[in-house]
Amino acid sequence: MQSFRLKHLVAVLATFATAAAVAQPTPPAQPNSQLAKPPVAPAAGAPVSQATNVKGSASLNQVVEQTLLTNPEIQARYNDFRSSLEGQNVAKGGWLPQVNAQGWVGHEWQSNLPGEGSASWNRPGYTLELRQLLFDGFKTNNDVKQAGFEKLSRYYDLLATSDEMAFNATQAYLDVERYRDLELLARQNYSLHDETMKQIRERADSGVGRRVDLEQAGGRLALAQTNLMTESANLNDVTQRFRRVTGLDVPATLAPPPRLDDKLPKDPKNFNDSLRGNPSFLSKQALLQAADAGVQSSKGAFSPKFEFVASTGTDTSQPGPDYKNTRSTNVQLVMSYNLYRGGADSARFRQTSAQSYAARDVRNYTCRNIQQDLAIAWNNVVHLRQALPFLRDHEVATTKVRDAYRQQFQIGQRTLLDLLDTENELFESRRALTNALYDLQVAQYRWLTLSHKLLPTLGLRPANDETPEEKAKLEVSDDVIKLCNSTVPDATRLEPVKVIYNNGTTPPDFVPSGRSPQPSPAQPGSTPKW
């Protein structure tokens, strides 16, 4: 049963990322390369833990694959989807005939009978009835439609959870790599300060150096030790998060994640396509259409109900042998029409109308939230791309300065404070560069997640045989997308700037480096520089 559920789970996970991505050919797998095959459930009867045993080394694709197979939150969403599927089957039962059998046995007494006075007799019998709905104001049709769109919403919830868990696994993977690198930097920084401390102690012991330099070096060494302990603690934290999200022990070696330069748009004009593919937004749109169907269903209570009824049976309705086991068979067209139900039908209509308005509002603010997340993720991508060259320049320049200061310190041209400050600046520049590199990858993966393109990017292409048929009936109009204000943030503010100095006391101008400078006109009374 566990294997059966997992196979169905894999068949649904994160499907329909994009039609183009699904249609891409699958390259053969290479050692430490991307997995380009659909996730495969564990063999029948095998414990789930056997499928999550990644030991010595792993790639990002393997980690995400195992997360999708074993994460309990995804399995919970999958069971919600299966439950809603059966809920629609319940509604479809209203289209089919009902067959009821009833039997009884008892004794009946009658009195004051004309000419007889009273009588008593045994009264066994049975009846078999078939009842087929013909018309109920389209209530059953709309109930099926409502349940279908609720099922579609659960399907998109499953996709959204799969995307989110895949991103969480990706972020945990990158964080482990990040803090391993940061711990290594902190360890190297500590070693440099320790070496400097030894040199200062030797100079102080020989009478050449000053004791205050020794105290200063000792303080900086203690700070380097604290930084190392902090990075080690951070590594422990992200290691535990990796285990929680993926269900795996952290492998000793993590392969570099795939490059994403060709997976992101070069210069997007808007995020409309990303919004149309986002499963969280589509889930709310499906709920809105389900609520609209609920409104139509509530109107059915104001219509007459027509049923075809056929029944047969036996009954001893009167005493005497002439009435024993009397068989009765009849065919009827039955109309029932409620005239008054205490105002319940009108209240039900008002209730479903309010639910429809609420679902529309939820759809609209969900669309806005996703647009904001897309804009922030893209803004982070652009910002970090622009900042990385400068962070690299800073790290390279600081390395050269540190090396020069160390040589100059040896011959007395630089103070210990100069050397220690440069060591600290180099450490911080390397930390900033390392964090920016990983932040850029996280921002890129985040944008792909919001666009429902993460799994195809990782080469994971689950089957799509459980896609609900209501998907083709989902309506996402251009007007709805426009309500989200799906605009790309202004990236001109993120471009590098040049300082243009003006004449006299006029403040300098800051213009993007890619634009032609246009100095401000000289202010009255200012003195031009010749």
Q: Where are the domains of the chain?
A: 2-85+143-292+346-494
* Interhelix angle 72-92/2-12, nearest 10 degrees: 90
pLDDT in tens, 313-323: 988 777 766 66
User: Helix/strand/coil (H, E, C) string of 470-525?
Assistant: HHHHCCCCHHHHHHCCCECCCCHHHCCEEEECCCCCCCCEEEECCCCCCCCCCCCC
What value does the mean pLDDT of the chain take? 83
Q: Taking residues 146-153, what's their average pLDDT?
A: 96
pLDDT tens track for 57-94: 899 999 999 999 999 999 999 999 999 999 999 999 99
Whether residue 68 contacts residue 48, with contact meaning beta carbons closer than 8 Å, is answered with no
User: What mean pLDDT is predicted for residues 294-302?
Assistant: 95
Range of weakest confidence among 114-128, 317-331, 399-413: 317-331
| pLDDT for 73 | 93
Q: What's residue 14's pLDDT?
A: 36
Model confidence at 189: pLDDT above 60: yes
Dihedral angle computed from the Cα positions of residues 51, 53, 56 and 60, in that order, rounded to the nearest 10 degrees:
50
Closest by CA to 74, choosing from 139, 8, 122, is 8
pLDDT at 463 (0 to 100)? 45
Task: Check: CB of residue 477 under 8 Å from CB of residue 494.
Answer: no
In this prediction, residue 200 carries a pLDDT of 82
The pTM of the whole model exceeds 0.85: no
Confidence band (pLDDT; 50, 70, 90) for 41? very low
| Residue 145 DSSP symbol | H
The pLDDT value given to residue 208: 67
Q: Is the pLDDT of residue 44 over 60?
A: no
Contacts 24+ apart (CB under 8 A), 98-104: 98/130, 98/131, 98/132, 99/128, 99/129, 99/130, 99/131, 100/128, 100/129, 100/131, 101/126, 101/127, 101/128, 101/129, 102/126, 102/127, 102/128, 102/129, 102/313, 103/127
Q: What confidence score (pLDDT) does residue 92 get?
A: 94
Calculate what percentage of the chain has a pLDDT beyond 70. Answer: 81
How far is 246 from 62, CA to CA, in rounded Å?
10
Whether the pLDDT of residue 525 is over 80: the answer is: no
1: confidence class by pLDDT, cuts 50, 70, 90: very low
The closest alpha carbon to 130, from 315, 337, 338, 330, belongs to 330
Q: How confident is the model at residue 514 (pLDDT cuts 50, 70, 90)?
A: low
Residue 179 clears pLDDT 70, i.e. is over it: yes
Q: What confidence score (pLDDT) does residue 270 get?
A: 86
> In whole angstroms, what separates CA 409 from the centre of its chain?
54
Give the type of residue at 504. Answer: G
- Cα torsion 178, 179, 182, 187: sign: negative
To the nearest 10 degrees (0 to 180), the angle between helices 139-205 and 60-70 is 130
Question: What is the rounded average pLDDT of the residues 37-54?
Answer: 37
Question: Lowest-confidence range among 143-147, 177-181, 231-235, 408-412?
Answer: 408-412
Selection from 132-136, 411-415, 457-461 with the highest mean pLDDT: 132-136
Report pLDDT for 330: 93
- Residues 213, 226: Cα–Cα separation, whole Å: 20
Single out the residue of 452, 471, 472 nearest to residue 462, CA to CA. 452
Q: How far is CA 132 from the centre of its chain?
A: 44
The pLDDT of residue 462 is 56
Residue 293 CB neighbour total at 10 angstroms: 22
Per-residue model confidence as pLDDT tens digits over 223-275: 999 999 999 999 999 999 999 999 999 999 999 999 888 889 888 888 999 99
Half-sphere exposure of 169 (CA within 13 A, CB side): 33
How many whole angstroms separate alpha carbon 495 and alpha carbon 387?
9
Low-confidence winner among 5-9, 61-65, 97-101, 331-335 (lowest mean pLDDT): 5-9
- Gap between the Cα atoms of 68 and 50, Å rounded: 15
Task: Assess whether pLDDT exceeds 50 at residue 26.
Answer: no
> For position 328, what pLDDT does the model report?
87
Return the C-alpha torsion angle 99, 105, 109, 113, nearest 10.
50
Query: Across-strand partners of 327?
Result: 314
State mean pLDDT over 468-486. Answer: 87
Higher-confidence position of 527 and 378: 378
Which pLDDT value is given to residue 320? 66
DSSP state letter for 270:
B
As a whole number of angstroms, the distance between CA 65 and CA 466 comes to 19
Rounded to whole angstroms, the Cα distance separating 429 from 415 reads 21
Query: Which residues touch 264 (CB under 8 Å, ≥6 apart)?
Result: 381, 444, 447, 448
What was the pLDDT predicted at 478?
87
CA within 13 Å, CB half, 168? 21
Residue 112 pLDDT > 80, yes or no? no
* 458 vs 43: CA distance, rounded Å: 23
pLDDT at 510 over 90: no
- What's the pLDDT band for 484 if we cut at 50, 70, 90? confident
| CATH number listed for the domain at residues 2-85+143-292+346-494 | 1.20.1600.10
pLDDT score at 206: 76
Token code pair at residue 205? 């012991």
Q: Which helix (H) or strand (E) holds 342?
A: none
> What H or E segment, with its residue span, contains residue 14?
none
Strands 509-512 and 497-500: antiparallel
Q: What is the pLDDT of residues 367-402, one digit of tens each?
A: 999 999 999 999 999 999 999 999 999 999 999 999
- Cβ-proximal residues to 530 (8 Å cutoff; 6+ apart), any chain: none
pLDDT > 90: what percent of the chain?
A: 59
